[in-house]
Structures are given as structure tokens and as C-alpha cells.
Amino acid sequence: PKSRDGYQWTKATGLVQGVPTLGLIQPSTHFTRGKHYDVIVIGGGYAGLTTCRDLALAGNNVLLVEARDRIGGRSWSSNIGGYPYEMGGTWVHWHQPFVWRELRRYGMMDQLEISPRKNVEGGAKVTVNLDGEVKHLSHDEEDGTVTNSAIQDATVESAFKKFINVDGQFGRSVIPYPHDIEFNMAGVQEYDHMSMADRMAQVAPHLTPLEKNMFEGFLAITHGAKWEEASFFELLRWWALMNYNYPDFMAIGLTYKLRDGQSALARRIFDEAVATGRLDYSFSTPVRDVIDHGDRVEVTARNGVEVFKARRLVCTVPLNVLHTLAFTPGLPTLKTEASLAGHVNQVVKCHAEVANPEMRSLGATNYPNGRLTYTFGDGTTPAGNTHLVAFGSSLPGVHLDPEQDIQVTKKAFEEFYPGMNVQRLVFHNWHKDEFARGAWEWLRPGMTTKYLQALRERHGNVFFASSDSSFGWRGFIDGAIDDGGRVAKIVHDELRDVRPVASKL
Ligand code: FAD
């Protein structure tokens, strides 16, 4: 079963839209026309799926309305010949409490796999692009005591620490409680208004050319935007969440993924909700408008034909999409403003299957001279080939746009290494996706302090849950699950208490 989302290229097929996934839901609809639901949930990403499951388990009749033909939103995996390529959200860790609870719940803890592999025979392959010249730091060039991947880690770590150390305590005094930045909103202001460009200007004189090059390549994929458009505070927040140190940053952020892909986990949540008999759904149904009548909420699909009714609504569409839905009464100014400004992350994630087993240990930073800013070995495919994952961005001059010209993308992989033999490319271009309009959340300077609280507020009978405005792991899978569960509880408690009294704005 193939979703419409995503693209795949092989020499035999050329570029083809749509890839197979466990997340495809067929038949795409299951609901009773005219039924009054307790709750409608817009969006079937992790926030929406968690809301649906928790509400259905608690006894509420729920309808999920989703624009795509699949579950998972920005976290989903294509399944090609039994092998998953993660198209969006991928890496999870036991330091992320909400997603870990889900893995435990479904008995999936033993399904973690490790992406980057550095301790392979022959040593790790590290490539840097310094001033347009691709340099291969090969194992042989070292004195035998330090591996090149250790050099890569040491270089990025050294730069990272200089970049983050605004308070002499590596950010600890600014973010003492990483899950609740609200504890120090005043102290956060200064860094929230600082852009990544501002911070780089302060730190650059203290970085060696290699440190600057490798660290910029690494940073380019944290926010995927122009340096002056990305808030520095978001990096401080990630750093704090990742235990204020670089080894944990890599272990938590980029190491452990699910053997069968994220869609396998999303599927468990969805299936459990459906099994209650209280979750109905309508896929391939983009929502056009939402009207809150006080005693009920009405949701109209884009085709104008379907109108759904419920006592409460939970909207989980991404921040960058929110302003495309029409709300009556209109959304508060701060919510609309935040959505129109949007988060800035325009990362494009692209996978390659290459017939080069020795590339399993590749780690390459290529900014600002190549389109694949950061690339590394992600797995071994059933054919015994290496699976590489690469990140491109919207940074000027190195913009990656694979569906525009797939040969440019293929060439970008080939340039890493002589003899690179690209067999397959798989990708999802998130910034061209009308139901995402960007990748993971990364706010602009000033947005956290100005908009975050307003984004979480209810609007009459309409509630909001999203990884983009969650507590804790905001911008991650964990944040989506956290927020979906949080809002489900509020809605459930309210329905139980106020039935059948109407609420007003
Ligand atoms: P979404 O998943 O975006 O769900 C929102 C849903 O709303 C979507 O299904 C969408 O189709 C639907 N929708 C939109 N408009 C409409 C409409 N008009 N009508 C009906 N439905 C609509 N996180 C990690 O923890 N680890 C990672 O390694 C990681 N890597 C990432 C890599 C990439 C490339 C991307 C894009 C994200 C990554 N993330 C990662 C972040 C993580 O994927 C997201 O934060 C999380 O999945 C968002 O969940 P959500 O439910 O809040 O939003």
C-alpha cells in the first residue's frame, strides 16, 4: 500500500511520487454521517493520535479528521522491501519520557537500532568540505591512537561548548528546568531575541577554521534556516534538554531509531484507539473551516461536502499551517500572528541506498559548499547496501530541492566519495508540503517569549495540541505525545464535569 506522500528514485523507475508505508489507512473513512461526537481531533500526527487514543480509552466518542491518506504527520516511515526509511521524525531516547512510555506500553523497547556506526572495520570515514575542497580524513592519517571520528566529535564539541557557554555554566543558569522554561522567562528574553547569526558573530573569533566549518555544518541542520532568522534560544533549549553536554546531545538526538520505523509506533497508537470502538476517522479530508457555535463545534472539509459536529475540538495542525484554516470566531491575534510568522525550519531529509558497504561509517559535513549539509550512515539495507541519511536546508546557495532535479541530488551524494554507487533515493520535501510547511519547529528570534503561551490557550470549545508549542521536548516526537496527552486530559475532565452545559467564549 502506497501513500501519496514522499518520493522514490531508482535507475529503473526514475522519480516516482508516493512510497509504501505501514501508516496508510485503508479504507480511508469510517464514520457515521450526522453523528454528534464528543470530540473532533484535526490532524493524525503524534499529538492528534495520542489525543484520540486517550480520549477514546476514557470513554469519549472521537472523530479524527486528517488531510493525508496516512497517520503520523511529520513522523512517518516508508517501507521499501521491508526496510524503513524515516521521512521525518526518527530518533528517540529513554530521556524522552513520553515517547519512552509509549514504547514500553507496546513492548517495543527491544526494537531500537543504532544509526551512526563509527567503530567498523577500517575505521570511520569522515569528510569535510573546507573552502570548497573536500577533504577525507582517513584512518591512516591518524597516529593510530585517535580515530578520525573522535577528531570530528572533539572538534564539534569544542566549538559547541564555546557557542553555548553564555553564563559560565553552559546554559544551566538560563534554563535550570529544561522541561519548563517558564521558570525563568525573564532570563530567557535576551537569548530568545538573539539570532544564531548574532551568537556566531560573538563566538567566531574564538573558533579555529576547522571548528567553525564542522560546527556550522552541524548547526545548519538543527534549524535548517538562514542564520539570522533562527533563534539562538532554541539551541540553548535543545542543549539543556540533552543534559547540557555534547555526548548526550548526540546520543539522545541522533542515535536510536525504531527497527520497523516510526509508522510502526504510530500504527500501535491508532489501532489501540480504533479497538475501543469509539474512534471514527476520515482521511484524505483537509479541513477548511471551524465554527464554534457555543453549544457545538462544526468542522467543514475543503470539499465543502462533509460537515462534522462535536462538543469540543482539538486542533493539532502544525504552527505553520494554522493560519490556513478559517476559525469563527476568529483566532486571537497572537495565535494568527505566530502562525503567519511561522517557525523557520526548512530542512529536507534525503536518503540514499549506495552499493558501498564501506560508507556505513561515513560522517560528512559539507556546509557551506554542498547541498547535503550533514550526512551519515544510517543502516544496512536487506540487499547489504549502505543506507545514508542526508540533510539539506533552505540556506542560500545550497538549497536542496530534490523533486526539482533529482540528478543534482544524486550528484551531491556521488561527490562525497570516488566510486559512490547510488542505487536509490528516498525523500520527503517538507517545505513544499502544504500540510506541514516546514520540518520540526524552530522559532524565530523573539517568538518563544512573545507567542508560546498564547499558542497553547484554548479558544472557546477549540483546544490546541502540538509538538510545535508543547512543554518539554518541543519540536520532537516526545513533545507531540506530551501535548496530545495533556490536552486530552483537560478536554476529558471538562466534558465529564460540564455535561450537558454549553461553554462560551
Ligand atoms: P504533525 O505530525 O505535523 O501532525 C499534524 C497533522 O495535521 C498532520 O498529519 C497533517 O497532515 C494534519 N493537517 C495539517 N493541515 C490539516 C488540515 N487542513 N486538515 C486536516 N489535517 C491537517 N523529532 C524527534 O523526536 N526526533 C527526530 O529525529 C526528528 N527528526 C525530524 C526530522 C524531520 C525531517 C522532521 C520533519 C521532523 C523531525 N522531528 C523529530 C520532529 C517531529 O517529527 C515532530 O515534532 C512531530 O512529529 C510533530 O507532531 P505533531 O503531531 O505535533 O504534528
pTM metric for this prediction:
0.95
Distance from residue 283's CA to the centre of ligand 1 (Å) = 16
Pocket test of ligand 1: the residue of 75, 113, 441, 486 to mutate, having most ligand atoms within 8 Å of its CB, is 75
| pLDDT value of position 123 | 59
Task: Tell me whether strands 307-315 and 462-464 are parallel, antiparallel or unpaired.
Answer: parallel
Distance from residue 118's CA to the centre of ligand 1 (Å) = 30
| pLDDT value of position 137 | 66
| pLDDT value of position 142 | 43
Distance from residue 301's CA to the centre of ligand 1 (Å) = 20
| pLDDT value of position 217 | 84
Which residues in the chain land under pLDDT 50? Answer: 139-146, 499
Q: How far, in Å, CA of 479 to CA of 469, rounded? A: 8
Q: How far, in Å, CA of 287 to CA of 303, rounded? A: 9
Contact 147, 209 (CB under 8 A): no
| pLDDT value of position 75 | 98
What backbone phi and psi angles, to 5 degrees, belong to 235?
Answer: -70, -40
> What 8-state DSSP symbol labels residue 385?
P
What backbone phi and psi angles, to 5 degrees, belong to 280?
Answer: -100, 165
The CA-atom distances, in angstroms, between 464 and each of 6, 194, 197, 469 are 27, 28, 32, 9
What residue ranges define each of the domains in the chain, with the CATH number in brackets? 20-110+260-330+459-498 (3.50.50.60), 114-256+349-430 (3.90.660.10)
Pocket test of ligand 1: the residue of 21, 69, 74 to mutate, having most ligand atoms within 8 Å of its CB, is 74
Distance from residue 318's CA to the centre of ligand 1 (Å) = 7
- The arrangement of strands across the sheet holding 125-130 comes to 14-17, 7-10, 422-428, 348-354, 386-392, 374-380, 362-365, 125-130, 133-137
Residue 471's contacts (CB-CB under 8 Å, 6 or more residues apart) are: 179, 180, 479, 482, 483, 486
Task: Tell me if residue 71 falls in helix, strand or coil.
Answer: coil
| pLDDT value of position 297 | 98
Contact 19, 435 (CB under 8 A): no
| pLDDT value of position 403 | 87
**Residue with cell string 462533509:** 306
Contact 53, 39 (CB under 8 A): no
How is 318-350 classified by DSSP, letter by letter? -HHHHTTSEEESPPPHHHHHHHHH------EEE
